[in-house]
Structure 1
Amino acid sequence: MSPGEWGRLPVWQSQEPNMEAQTPSTIQLNDSVVFTRTLSSGELHHFYFAAGGSSIHKRADPFQLVKRELPVYLTLTSCTQPTPPSNFQGVIPSLELFLSNSSDTTLPGPSRGMRVNDTHPGRIAWTSNANEIWIGVVAPTLNNNWSGNWTYEIAISTTQWMHPLFIPRGKDDKNTPWMTLDDTDSTNALFLTNPYTLSQAPNISVLLTSGVPKELSYSLCAAKPHQVPGYRTNITSTSRGPSEAQRQQVMVSNLNKDTSYTAYFLQQDGSRLGVGPPIPVQTKNDPNCQLIYNLEFCDQVAYSVPATGSDIWNITASYDAQAKALFQPFDRALSQFNCETTAYSLVRNCTDCYNDYKRWLCAVSIPRCTSPSLIDQMNHKPGPAVRRISGGEARNPWVDKQFEVNEWTEMLPCIDLCYRVVQSCPPFLQFFCPEGDLAWLQYGYWQTGTIETNKTLIDFNVNRPTCNRVGLNTSLLVISKASNPSLPSYVWPLVIGIVLFVVM
């Protein structure tokens, strides 16, 4: 039986909780209170919760009284788990949760009651309408070569999730907070949150961890003991992102070079602390990839760029100034078109043209620097679109002259940035995008999915992109999604120029 089927069970009989059906080993849970327990191999814990208590409400007939059904929100998060033998290579088994709504089954377990499946590793969640519930928590039976126990938190509430997990339910979900990774360099990581509408910014933080067991990766109580020491966070407000709404950006610094971490987005909501899904974070091994953000003109740029020197704000200002200078000829050309009175599209206007050209220009004049990896050299789909740069071969010659970076790897701009300029700008500007092999030399395609390399699963998504979108909403990357490229995602071009240009 699934959680959805539970809600279709017949209405329970009107009666007070059958306390005699409980055993001395059954623990009464209180509404909205987190309870912590330890469970050893093969052990079983039982709990009971009366959602409606002794409350009653009247039906149409004032003399007919029924017990009130209430929504209940049940969560169990595993905090620790046993340690397997040294030669163990499988997945450590998880705790199991069984439920019953019948006084005939007050000790649910593997042989009776409804099993609730894991929704995410380390966290079990269930919700429905109920007025009394019997709960069984079961630990798998292990052999003598294992050591340690499971510890877990269990909580039930009639008003809210006591272990909130922030995962948006689609692109139209405006209420669930979230955070994405912009980029890293060798010692820093930059994150961006969803927009907020309140006058005061939400109380957020980032938990940076290392070594959280994969079986417990969605459990906050499991992640906290694995917090890495010494990192610093700087939280500021920004309008950067797919919309001009206010967001928060988090700069995490003092990290180690070429190191893997896992980041968790945390947001305080009253007495509850909610957590987002785990975000893999990999710092770069190239110190000449340096993270820049808060640019005045190229305000959507928030990624690493090729640069030498330690004055990051001078590097930021230099890149921004040269992009702004390159933008001026286009700005003059667009000003010759009577945007106020001449319509050239039913869905686009000169403001769209201005913004899309600016985004494209920032992408090609401020290249995104990344670390080479084995994945880049393999014909994987999905996979990152990158090219290796030697001295004097940068897409923008100014980069070679200004910073003299000998060797670095560029993540190519998403081809959608080019097509949006063609779609958004007046025809008299005569923009066009490259096709075929030339497109593959200059642009990448936005791809999502999972690959396995060296027995490790790698997810390509908004936190690990395959091309540089420069803040463009992923829902607008339609050219990439509609394409089914047959060429490999890595290229080895020589010097290439900007194909999209203005014919004056």
Structure 2
Amino acid sequence: MPPLTLWLLISAVLAQRQEISLNSIIISNITYNNISPPTFTLPTSDSPINLSVSLCSDQLPSPRFFLNSASTSVPSPDGGDGGIEISLDEGLGTWNGTTPNGGILAVYTGQLSSGVVVPPWTFQLGVSNGDPLHTVLDGLPLLGDTTASQALIFSPSFSSLPISSPSYPNYTLPESNTTMPNAPSNVPNFTLALFPTSSSPPSLAKSACAVLGQQSANENMTTSLAFRGSEGFRTQWLVEDLDNRTNYTAFVVQDGAKVSEAIFLSTKSSSFACPLLHSLPFCPQTAYSVPLQPPKAPFTSYNTTNLDPAISSSFLSSLQNFSTTLSAFPCGRDVYSPLKGCTDCFDTYRTWLCAVAFPQCADPPSNPSTFFSPTPPSESPTPALLAQSSSNRSPILPDLGTSHTILLPCIETCQAVDRSCPPFLGWRCPVMAVNANWSYGLGFIDGIDGSEGQGRISGASGRGVDRWGGMWCSGL
């Protein structure tokens, strides 16, 4: 699809006809007038085109959009002149068809009571000979974690790395102390819109411009590129200066016109002691709060630049020891599974080790109903929480010095190693009949009996976190 070629800001003059060029978006502000409605001319095309309407403001009465695709006669709400209405769904409307003689779109603003004055309506119109320029993104944003005043949020995944399959005799396992791979050349232009859920829940949730209009002005955001292993690349936002114990709604907007569905999150209590840890190349999926002392100023979270080198060295030593042991198997020459190889074994072990070495802190709510957004799943399971004393559960982290609660790792991180590694390693995961629930979160992703994708979180198979801000187990 050709790139967007034009962004115009129009202070629409009533009865003046504006032309919408192909593969462009225009932004229009109109005031109430049903005698001479604003009109917009579509390009002539014998091939199907997509017209999209994105309503940016939700004051009533809502404007109505009527299209005549057969001629340049102005359509009317009474169905005259061959006009059809473009219906809006949560602020977004689309139409697909041909305009062999050109087409015209008219905007009617409804009837107002005498003396009623409303602000101008704002909307966007886009015309494309490819996909609609305004649409809802396929993927959801991803919540890393929150503290009392911070949130770590990721865009939908947009690029993955090709998986290399080394061969014998030059079979080389991945480096333990890896670096972030080179960024792709086609990084989308993502924007995070974050605002308190209680402030004004958007009725125009499928309109990117309406969502961006809800963005709070007081958040301090740091934007960076994150690589999340098998998930590929995502844009990452570290948001500061949030209010504690507050529900927030987050959308991600791409190119100012395409919007994701919402996710919800809740900040922790003011007494929450654990800082965020993120952007570790050797633990790409570690992006949550950990039981560490607060970082020294000017840092407000931990990453590779300020994490104690002794912690990194201890972790990498454990990972390298596993790599050495795994190399005893003739990887690439002998086959122990038709589906898995030594690289899969190493990657799943890394994921498990990261979840165990860097436990995720939790902040159990005093009232579970306040932890979720206004529309949580109807049946919410209890997270896999474990209370800790001042000591640290991780063997490589120093004691936190205060009692805290951790979120246990998802047992699937352990089971993935069992499924991916050669039998000679003797890897075994605990079972429910013994004491698995003391070490892992069970039944949130897969079933307790191991049945794949049969966990208790509706629509969240494969993750220990759902779109409503609920966190059930860690590491996935």
Both structures adopt the same fold (TM-score exceeding 0.5): yes
> What does the per-residue CA deviation read over 1:217-267, in whole Å, with 9 as the maximum and x for residues that have no partner?
333333444332343333333433325x55543323333333333334344
Match in the other structure for 2:134: 164
Q: Secondary structure at the match of 1:37?
A: strand
Match in the other structure for 1:299: 284
Match in the other structure for 2:450: none
TM-superposed deviation, 1:47: 3.1
Q: Kindly provide the amino acid, as one letter, of the partner of residue 248 in structure 2.
A: Y
Match in the other structure for 1:478: none
Cα pair distance change 1:35/1:301, threshold 3 Å: closer
Matches within 5 A, 1:428-443: 428-436=424-432, 438-441=435-438, 442-443=440-441
Match in the other structure for 1:107: 75
Q: Is the 8 A contact 2:220 2:240 kept in 1?
A: yes
Work out which of the two has the higher radius of gyration on C-alpha atoms and give 1 or 2: 1
Match in the other structure for 1:249: 236
Match in the other structure for 1:479: none
User: Which consecutive residues of structure 1, in runs of 5 or more, have no partner in the other structure?
Assistant: 1-23, 53-67, 84-92, 171-177, 452-458, 473-504
> What does the per-residue CA deviation read over 1:83-130, in whole Å, with 9 as the maximum and x for residues that have no partner?
7xxxxxxxxx855444343569843426675443334x2222223333
CA distance in 1, matches of 2:212, 2:112: 26
CA distance in 2, matches of 1:242, 1:397: 26
> What does the per-residue CA deviation read over 1:341-364, in whole Å, with 9 as the maximum and x for residues that have no partner?
332111111221111112112112
Match in the other structure for 1:418: 414
Match in the other structure for 1:206: 192
- Give aligned-pair identity as a percent: 24
* Cα RMSD for the two superposed structures: 4.1
Q: Is the 8 A contact 1:307 1:405 kept in 2?
A: no
Match in the other structure for 1:259: 246
Q: Is the 8 A contact 2:359 2:407 kept in 1?
A: yes
Q: Secondary structure at the match of 1:214?
A: coil
Match in the other structure for 2:152: 190
Deviates more, 1:378-387 or 1:209-218: 378-387
Match in the other structure for 1:405: 402
Matches within 5 A, 1:82-231: 82=59, 95-102=63-70, 106-109=74-77, 113-119=83-89, 121-131=90-100, 132-139=102-109, 148=118, 151-159=121-129, 164-165=134-135, 167-168=137-138, 179-193=141-155, 194-196=157-159, 198-199=184-185, 201-210=187-196, 211-231=199-219
| TM-score after normalising by structure 1 | 0.66
Q: Secondary structure at the match of 1:72?
A: strand
Match in the other structure for 2:338: 346
Q: Is the 8 A contact 2:274 2:294 kept in 1?
A: no
Q: Is the 8 A contact 2:384 2:473 kept in 1?
A: no
Match in the other structure for 2:223: 235
Q: Secondary structure at the match of 2:354?
A: helix
Match in the other structure for 1:69: 46
CA distance in 2, matches of 1:310, 1:338: 44
Q: Secondary structure at the match of 1:342?
A: coil
Q: Secondary structure at the match of 1:280?
A: strand
Q: Secondary structure at the match of 1:34?
A: strand
Q: Kindly provide the amino acid, as one letter, of the partner of residue 94 in structure 2.
A: A
> What does the per-residue CA deviation read over 1:424-460, in whole Å, with 9 as the maximum and x for residues that have no partner?
1111222233333644442241355489xxxxxxx96
1:30 and 2:20 aligned: yes
Q: Secondary structure at the match of 2:56?
A: strand
CA distance in 1, matches of 2:312, 2:347: 15
TM-superposed deviation, 1:34: 1.5
Q: Is the 8 A contact 1:74 1:125 kept in 2?
A: yes
Matches within 5 A, 1:451-466: 461=466, 464=469, 466=471
Cα pair distance change 1:426/1:110, threshold 3 Å: farther
Q: Kindly provide the amino acid, as one letter, of the partner of residue 263 in structure 1.
A: A
CA distance in 1, matches of 2:143, 2:151: 8
Higher helix share: 1
Match in the other structure for 2:168: none
User: Which consecutive residues of structure 2, in runs of 5 or more, have no partner in the other structure?
Assistant: 1-13, 160-182, 446-455
Matches within 5 A, 1:7-22: none
1:323 and 2:319 aligned: no
Cα pair distance change 1:41/1:368, threshold 3 Å: farther
Q: Secondary structure at the match of 1:190?
A: strand
> What does the per-residue CA deviation read over 1:29-81, in whole Å, with 9 as the maximum and x for residues that have no partner?
432352423455999946353431xxxxxxxxxxxxxxx51433322222223
Cα pair distance change 1:25/1:262, threshold 3 Å: same
> What does the per-residue CA deviation read over 1:251-290, in whole Å, with 9 as the maximum and x for residues that have no partner?
233333333333343444xxx6654444434322253131
Cα pair distance change 1:308/1:413, threshold 3 Å: same
Q: Secondary structure at the match of 1:461?
A: coil
Q: Is the 8 A contact 2:275 2:294 kept in 1?
A: no
Q: Is the 8 A contact 1:82 1:148 kept in 2?
A: yes
Q: Is the 8 A contact 2:52 2:127 kept in 1?
A: no
